[in-house]
Amino acid sequence: MTASDESQPFRLAYVPGVTPDKWVRTWKERVPEVALELVAVSPAEAADVVRDCQVDAALLRLPTDRTGLHAIPLYTETTVAVVDKEHVLTAADELSIEDLADDVVLHPHDDTLVWEQLPGKPAIARPDTTPGAIELVAAGVGVLLVPQSLARLHHRKSLTYRPVTDAPQSQVALSWIEDETTELMEQFIGIVRGRTVNSTRGRPPAPKTPKRKPAQAKPTGGHSRDRSGKPGKRGRGGKPRRR
């Protein structure tokens, strides 16, 4: 690692609902000489801030435009329906798309899910953002489908959520510029993939130490052997006695 690497922080963007705290703690333990700077971004701009080199990497949601970017999928989130606590849908532990057929399902412009066909009944107008859609649900306007982490992030006392088993799902991925995998980037990749501190990936193998041949023991006196291989007695001066 060069002196310039140490002087510049490692900048990591992340989208709402993604919590990089555990990886940040591991980074501080393993790379204490380089600060890790978190940058909150919207899902729509996450890929662009990486391409524009405003950050070193981003934790974003797939699918997204991956032109010029690497992306390592990290985990897949459960999709849930956010509803009022008094809604009839809360009677079930799990829901299906068919269960939402009679409800107005909100579809914000920053929706992170990809739909072949939108479920439920369409709203009169699309909310601009997910937080705005949550406010409409709280006002009793409709139902919203989001990754579970977003339902937790925008929690309201009057709202709850239920898993939707057959809805599209969102993947969280680590993304960075193609052909620019720096040493610090390798460090962070190792952290999110759960490599141990002793992992040798990306490091040159240690040179092997040649094995030494065991030294042969020299005779220290006592009995010698005659030509027949039998031990014989030694005379004075250590010479074998003649028979």
Question: Per-residue confidence of the chain (243 residues) as pLDDT tens digits?
Answer: 555 555 799 999 999 999 999 999 999 999 999 999 999 999 999 999 999 999 999 999 998 899 999 999 999 999 999 999 999 999 999 999 999 999 999 999 999 999 999 999 999 999 999 999 999 999 999 999 999 999 999 999 999 999 999 999 999 999 999 988 899 999 999 999 988 776 644 444 444 444 455 555 555 555 545 555 555 555 555 555 554
What is the number of alpha carbons within 13 Å of residue 198 lying toward its C-beta? 0
pTM value? 0.76
Give the Cα separation of 208 and 129 in Å (integer).
58
The predicted pLDDT at position 180 comes to: 82
The region that residue 119 occupies, defined by phi over 0 for left and psi between -120 and 50 for alpha, beta otherwise, is beta
Separation in Å, CA 130 to CA 16, 30, 62, 191: 10, 36, 17, 30
The predicted pLDDT at position 198 comes to: 66
Delineate the domains of the chain, giving CATH numbers in brackets: 3-76+171-192 (3.40.190.10), 79-168 (3.40.190.10)
The predicted pLDDT at position 144 comes to: 98
Give the Cα separation of 172 and 165 in Å (integer).
18
Separation in Å, CA 132 to CA 21, 129, 136, 176: 26, 5, 7, 30
The predicted pLDDT at position 241 comes to: 54
Please name which of 38, 167, 26, 157 lies closest in space to residue 94, comparing C-alpha atoms: 167
The dihedral sign for the CA sequence 23, 28, 34, 35:
positive
Specify the residue for token string 């990886």.
23
The predicted pLDDT at position 202 comes to: 41
